Amino acid sequence: EEIEKGPYQHYMLKEIFEQPESIKRAMQGRIDEEYATAHLGGLNMTSRELLEVEQVVIIGAGTSYYAGMLGAYVIEQLARIPAVAELSSEIRYRNPVVRKNTLYFAVSQSGETADTLYALRELKRKGARVLGICNVVGSSIPRESDGGVYIHSGPEIAVASTKAFTSQVTAFYLFALLMARMRHLSYEEGLLFIRALREVPERLREVLEKAPEIKALARKYAWVKNFLFLGRGLNYPVALEGALKLKEVSYIHAEGYSAAEIKHGPIALINPETPSVFLVPHDELREKVLSNMKEVKSRGGKVVALCTEGDPDVREIADDVIEIPAVYRYMYPYLMVVPLQLFAYYMALELGRDVDQPRNLAKSVTVE
Ligand code: G6P
C-alpha cells in the first residue's frame, strides 16, 4: 500500500491534519436537514426496532474504547437512553447478561482486534444484536455484525489512532441524533445539533492553525516524566484519550482522570514536576473545572489549559493556555482532542521517538 505522506514528516501528522475532511466523510449523505435527523441505513434496523432499544452497550479497545465512552455519554444525554462503554477484553470473560432490548456496538478502526471480535462473538452467541462502527471495509467485525456504520476515514497508517477516533465519535453523534429525534428531541433542537456538527470541520481548521503554538508548548514541557490529563463530562473520555496518545508515541507516563476525581488520590502526585493538562470548555461544568484547577495550582502543580478564546478566569490560573473557538457544548470533544493529538505528536518528535511505529505497539492486535 503506497499512501503518500505528502508535505508531512509523519503519517500521524498527516492523519491529524486530515480530520476536517475525514469527519465530513463520516457525515456525508447521513444528515437529513428536512427532518433534522440522521440516516444510517447500514444499521439494518426498522424504526420500530430502534424505538424498542432500551439500553446501549458499546465495546472496544484502546482509542476505540474511548470513542465508545464518549459515544455512550452523548447517546445518554441527547437521546436519553441509558448507555455505557465496556472494554472488549473485560466483557468477554464476565459472562455478560444479554437483555432483549439492549443494542450493542463493537467499535474498531481495523475491524480485526481480537479482543473485540471475540467479545462480539460471545455476545452474538447469547442472541445479542451487535452493530459495528469500523473503518476497514469488509474486515471481520463488520462481516460478523448485524449491521453498522462505516466511518470512511480512509487508510490510517500511523499506529496511534487519530482520525478514526473523531470519525467514530461522529458515527455515535449521528446515531444519538437519530434516536433522540425518534423520541423527545424537537425539530429545532435537532437542527441546532446538526448545524453545530456541520460547523466542526471549519472550527477544526482554526484549531489546526495552532500547531506551531502546540509545538512550542511541547518543547517547553519535553523534560517532564509524568502528566495528568483532566476533564469532566463529555471531555473526560477526551482526557483519557489525550493521556493514551502521549503514552503511545512519546513514552511519557500520563494518566487521564476526571478532574473531580483527583481529590480521591491523584492529587497526591501533584508537585512542580508533574503538570496537569486541563480541558475547560465553556459549558455547565466550567466552574467546577476551574475550582479543580485552583486546587492543583495551590499545591504547586503547573497547569496547561485548553479553554475557549478569551476566557479570563482560565488565563488567571493557568501557566500555559491553548485557546479553541467557542462551540455548541456537544462539539467540544472534537476541538479538545485535536490539540492533545498534536501535543503527543510534538512531544514524541522532540524526544526523537519513532512516531509512526512506536516500540511494542501494533496497529491492529489480532491475538488475544
Ligand atoms: C491497538 C492500536 C491502538 C488501537 C487499538 C484498537 O492497540 O495500537 O491504536 O486504538 O489497537 O484498535 P481497533 O482497530 O480495534 O480500533
pLDDT (tens digit, 9 = 90+) per residue, 268-309? 999 999 999 999 999 999 999 999 999 999 999 999 999 999
CA of 164 to the centre of ligand 1 (A): 10
The burial of 141, by beta-carbon neighbours within 10 Å (0-12 exposed, 13-18 middle, 19 or more buried), is given as buried
Whether 363 sits among the annotated catalytic residues: the reply is yes
The 10s digit of each residue's pLDDT in 186-195 is: 999 999 999 9
Query: 60: which residues sit within 8 A by CB, 6+ positions away?
Result: 66, 67, 68, 85, 87, 88, 106, 107, 108, 113, 116
Cell of 272: 512542580
Q: Quick check: 2 pLDDT over 90?
A: no
Give this complex's ipTM: 0.96
339 vs 353: CA distance, rounded Å: 19
Q: Taking all residues of the chain, what is their mean pLDDT, rounded to a whole number?
A: 97
CA of 60 to the centre of ligand 1 (A): 9
Closest C-alpha residue for ligand 1 atom 2 = 363
pTM (2 d.p.): 0.97
The 10s digit of each residue's pLDDT in 102-153 is: 999 999 999 999 999 999 999 999 999 999 999 999 999 999 999 999 999 9
Cell of 182: 425518534
Closest-lying ligand 1 atom to the alpha carbon of residue 160: 9
Closest C-alpha residue for ligand 1 atom 5 = 62
Q: How far is residue 342 from each of residues 2, 250, 338, 347, 348, measured CA to CA in Å?
A: 24, 12, 6, 8, 10
135 vs 146: CA distance, rounded Å: 16
